[in-house]
Amino acid sequence: MKIKFVMDKNYVIGDVDDRLYGSFIEHLGRAVYGGIYEPGHPTADEEGFRKDVMDLVKELQVPVVRYPGGNFVSAYDWEDGVGPVADRPKRLDLAWRSMEPNLVGLNEFSSWCKKADTELMMAINLGSRGIDAARNILEYANHPGGSYWSDLRKSHGVKDPHGIKLWCLGNEMDGPWQVGHKEAKEYGRLADETAKAMKYYDKSLELVVSGSSNGSMATFPQWENEVLTECYDSVDYLSLHNYLNNRADDLDSFLAANLKIDRFIDTVVSTCDFVKGKKRSRKQINLSFDEWNVWYHSNQQDKDISDRTPWQVGPPLLEDIYNFEDALVVGAQINSLIRHADRVKIGCMAQLVNVIAPIMTENGGSAWRQTIFYPFLQASLFGRGRSMKVIASDDGYDHKDHGQVPWLDASAVWNEEKGEISLFLLNRNRTESLNLDGVLGGFAGYAPVEHLTMVHDDIKAVNTAEKPDNVVPTAVKGSVKVEGESLSLDLPPLSWNLVRLKKG
Ligand code: AHR
């Protein structure tokens, strides 16, 4: 099937903020205990952090990691996680019906972030708590010394402040499942007052206010409208969350589901700008898509665990084992984020280790890359620069829920400094290759570097500890041809592709 497309130097969507390729670690399941932290593990360092996991995290070059939740944060007392470990309380975590031993807290996680070359994005509890918890953790984390909370940090052996710049004002406060769930106006007022207090301390902080938990919430997008109406002037980003699933086992629908994300983002952007208009403001609110992924494989198992054996430390919750089709859909979600790089500035793949994650571990055993690791890795490594518009002639297929779905799902990033172009390309067609015939306006002189493709004859194929390389990208030789500004290449049926070009 032939598809023509155009990408032009003059059609720039916007700069990709490196933080688009962030991730998330929650005190949930084995993300912390058995994931990043396992003191008895053969690879554990002096602080108990698994070095095998650390190496995989570093490979992903994750620029920012959101912590410590998630639903967990909405009943979390951050003070429990600091000070001598022997004195820390064990607490019931109501969000995940688990036992929180508080062996890892702010100081340990900050140290892990340094080792992992990543920035800490800290969420504060606006569910069961409020302004006091926020201002106190900020003083503890960021003030150099000479005040109660900063001196307490020093007395805990942490001389230098953590300098955390990016803070989430609660989590999914629109969700009735959230401890301390609130009405929009009520939350908007609390977020505003909390943000003001935090910015009295440091006006350079970047604050993320909670948007909708997904685009199907009954309160969406009125939630965004009401919340921002209260706190527009004091916050910097609005969050959005969304998970995709293939519960219906309908591949055509699953492959098109990222188009829902495009629409979700468009509506959130419109709502932000509507409030901007109402307020006659010159300030622009950008988006933090700080939870996205595929999530559904583990749902039944999770129900069984929390019903039958609640209150465990590090139970195996949300352990989705991802297959080949999930990798395609994760690639498509990344395309949606890149296509909106002008407004989506922060993204967090949820999550990073064991819990709906690209990295899986066995307690005491190995760590490996799930199928979804690869599209995320490719985007993180080669998706930094400027997001470029790609226009394709593509009739696609008609889907009852998604309308006209193009066969090709594409995003493109131009890194001018490095003289590199990366094309991220999904072929949704199960039986036919796509023969792309493109014009790269203004990009004469670029030559192909590599074409990596992910294909598999079993759409349900997975990677496991025993077969960690069952689903991986492979190099396609000689498929990409460039002549002047013309580019042609073939995308195999049902495939995820990275095509890289470099200035000659
Ligand atoms: O990432 C798992 C959970 O999904 C988070 O705790 C919550 O914010 C969302 O509902």
Q: What is the pLDDT of residues 351-373, one digit of tens each?
A: 999 999 999 999 999 999 999 99
* pLDDT, average across residues 408-431: 98
Give the CA radius of gyration of the chain: 23
Nearest to 268 by CA among 181, 334, 208, 358: 208
The residues that bridge with 452 in the sheet, in sequence order, are 475, 498
> Number of structural domains, the chain?
2
Residues 378 and 391 both lie in one domain: no
Ligand 1 contact via 350 beta carbon (within 6 Å): yes
- Residues 345 and 428 grouped into a single domain: no
Residue 355 Cα, ligand 1 centroid: separation in angstroms?
A: 10
Q: Which residues are catalytic?
A: 172, 291
DSSP string, 415-438: ETTTTEEEEEEEE--SS--EEEEE
Domain end residue (candidates: 382, 413, 434): 382
Q: Which atom of ligand 1 is nearest to the CA of 350?
A: 1
pLDDT at 476 over 90: yes
Tokens encoding 396: 């696609």
Specify whether 434 is located in the same domain as 352: no
351 lines ligand 1 (CB under 6 A): yes
Q: Are strands 474-475 and 446-454 parallel, antiparallel or unpaired?
A: antiparallel
Give the residue among 421, 454, 386, 376 at the shortest CA–CA distance from 59.
Answer: 376
Determine the residue of 23, 65, 125, 172 to mutate for testing ligand 1's pocket, defined as the one with the most ligand atoms within 8 A of the Cβ atom: 172
- Residue 396 dihedral angles phi and psi, to the nearest 5°: 65, -150
Last residue of a domain, one of 338, 363, 382: 382
Pairing of strands 408-415, 420-427: antiparallel
- Centre of ligand 1 to C-alpha 382, Å, is 28
Residue range 310-329, pLDDT digits in tens: 999 999 999 999 999 999 99
Residues 437 and 487 in one domain: yes
Angle between helix 131-142 and 106-115 (nearest 10): 50
Tell me the per-residue pLDDT of 325-355, one tens digit each, with 9 for 90 and over: 999 999 999 999 999 999 999 999 999 999 9
Whether 71 is in the pocket of ligand 1, judged by its Cβ within 6 Å, is yes
- pLDDT of residue 305 exceeding 90, the answer is no
Provide the percentage of residues in the chain whose pLDDT is more than 70.
Answer: 100
Ligand 1 centroid–CA 317 distance in Å is: 12
Q: Rounded CA gap, 186 and 133, in Å?
A: 18
Count Cα neighbours of 443 within 13 Å in the Cβ-side half-sphere: 31
Is the pLDDT at 306 greater than 80? The verdict is no
pLDDT for residue 304: 84
Residues 354 and 232 both lie in one domain: yes
pLDDT digits (tens, 9 = 90+) for 11-45: 999 999 999 999 999 999 999 999 999 999 999 99
**Exposure of 484 by Cβ count < 10 A (0-12 exposed, 13-18 middle, 19+ buried)?**
exposed
Give the nearest ligand 1 atom to 71 CA: 6
Phi and psi, residue 339, nearest 5°: -65, -20
Mean pLDDT score, 217-233: 98
Q: Give residue 461's domain range.
A: 2-9+387-503
Residue 26, ligand 1, Cβ within 6 A: yes
Burial code of 103-127, b = ≥16 C-beta within 10 A, e = fewer?
bbbbbbbbebbeebebbbbbbbbbb
Residues 362 and 416 in one domain: no
**Do 250 and 339 sit in the same domain of this protein?**
yes
CATH number assigned to the domain comprising residue 441: 2.60.40.1180
Which atom, in ligand 1's list, is nearest to the CA of 70?
Answer: 6
Give the domain-ending residue among 349, 382, 415.
Answer: 382
CA of 171 to the centre of ligand 1 (A): 8
- Cα distance between residue 167 and residue 206, in whole Å: 6
Tens digit of each residue's pLDDT (9 = 90 or more) over 122-167: 999 999 999 999 999 999 999 999 999 999 999 999 999 999 999 9
Q: Which two tokens stand for residue 279?
A: 């307020």
Residue 98 belongs to what H/E stretch?
strand 98-100
The CB of 79 under 6 Å from ligand 1? The reply is no
Looking up tokens 């406060």, which residue turns up?
173
| CATH number of the CATH domain containing 184 | 3.20.20.80
**395 shares a domain with 364:** no
Q: Which residue CA neighbors atom 5 of ligand 1 most closely?
A: 70
Query: Are residues 163 and 99 in contact, defined by beta-carbon separation less than 8 angstroms?
Result: no
pLDDT score of 495 more than 80: yes
Cβ contacts of residue 227 below 8 Å, gap of 6+? 184, 185, 187, 188, 191, 209, 210, 211, 238
370 lines ligand 1 (CB under 6 A): no
pLDDT at 70: 98
Q: What is the reported pLDDT for 395?
A: 87
* Pair 107, 174 in one domain: yes
Asked if residue 466 and residue 335 are part of one domain, the reply reads no
Ligand 1 pocket mutation pick from 28, 30, 71, 94 by most atoms within 8 angstroms of CB? 71
User: Could you tell me the pLDDT band of residue 437, with boundaries at 50, 70 and 90?
Assistant: very high
Specify the pairing of strand 98-100 against strand 474-475.
unpaired
Per-residue model confidence as pLDDT tens digits over 75-93: 999 999 999 999 999 999 9
Clarify whether residues 404 and 435 are in a common domain: yes
391 lies in the same domain as 375? no
How far does the centroid of ligand 1 lie from the alpha carbon of residue 96, in Å? 10
Q: What is the mean pLDDT of the chain?
A: 97
Q: What is the whole-number distance in angstroms between the Cα of residue 28 and the centre of ligand 1? A: 9
- Alpha-carbon distance of 141 to 151, in angstroms, equals 10
d(CA 2, CA 27): 48
Residue whose CA is at the smallest distance from ligand 1 atom 4: 70
Give the span between the Cα atoms of 93 and 72, in whole angstroms: 7
